[in-house]
Chain A
């Protein structure tokens, strides 16, 4: 199972909005509403930010939102803050044989 495709890097200024894309196929992202997003700061464990495309776990700011259109899922961060600078990974259900596939990760830089 190939990894989902994410941009290697994105950037934005404090207060701005940025969107990170996660492109798959009809066998994963496009076929199910089960995309999750993770934030990882250097040397730390990942943190769940979004699951089931657009659900936010308790404690995650509502500046973080998720959506999906066709084979592409997106994570949007509005009102960028310095602490949002991190790596972000998407993950999708991909069927019963090889059910979990991650994206390659996107480095978010807050300018």
Chain B
């Protein structure tokens, strides 16, 4: 069965960095676009970034552009999110999700359980 397991969340000071990981299993990881989506406490969902199956294409929400970098290692079935220059407003649960389309068209058919990132001094 498809499983996505995020890790790497935690407490970090404003201006700090954090790297999230997502371990995928139960499907051919290298066939799918993957995304990061976040949810601030008590708030709605916000798309953060996606990466194409071969890492050729990436895209970011304006709110994280220039600070976050998405990457993947198909040999390790893993997705990553490098987060730099973190701000209080980046505090959220971060989900990795599989894209149902092999394209930028949204449709997230499997989600991880999420990892909490808290940015606070």
Interface residues of A (CB under 8 A from B): 1, 3, 32, 34, 36, 38, 40, 45-48, 51-52, 57, 89, 91-93, 96, 98-105
Q: Which residues of A contact B113 (CB under 8 A)?
A: 45
Cross-chain contact A92 with B111 (CB below 8 angstroms): no
Interface residues of B (CB under 8 A from A): 35, 44-47, 50, 59, 61-62, 95, 100, 104-109, 111-114
Q: Which residues of A contact B59 (CB under 8 A)?
A: 96, 98-99
Q: Which residues of A contact B105 (CB under 8 A)?
A: 32, 34, 52, 93, 99
Cross-chain contact B47 with A100 (CB below 8 angstroms): yes
Cross-chain contact B45 with A38 (CB below 8 angstroms): yes
Cross-chain contact A99 with B106 (CB below 8 angstroms): yes
Rounded to whole angstroms, the CA-CA distance of A25 and B112 in the bound complex is 30
Q: Which residues of B contact A48 (CB under 8 A)?
A: 100, 107-109
Cβ of A26 to closest chain B Cβ, rounded Å: 17
Choose one: A32, A46, A93, A98; the contact of B62 (CB below 8 Å). Answer: A98
Output the nearest chain B residue to A87 by Cβ-Cβ distance. B44
Given contacts A36-B108, A51-B107, A105-B44, 6 further A-B contacts (CB under 8 A): A34-B106, A48-B109, A52-B105, A93-B104, A102-B44, A104-B44
Choose one: A34, A45, A92, A105; the contact of B114 (CB below 8 Å). Answer: A45
Cβ of B34 to closest chain A Cβ, rounded Å: 13
Q: Which residues of B contact A51 (CB under 8 A)?
A: 100, 107, 109
Choose one: A46, A47, A52, A92; the contact of B45 (CB below 8 Å). Answer: A46
Cross-chain contact B106 with A36 (CB below 8 angstroms): yes
Cβ of B67 to closest chain A Cβ, rounded Å: 16
Rounded to whole angstroms, the CA-CA distance of A87 and B59 in the bound complex is 27
Given contacts A45-B113, A57-B109, contact A100 B50 (CB under 8 A): yes
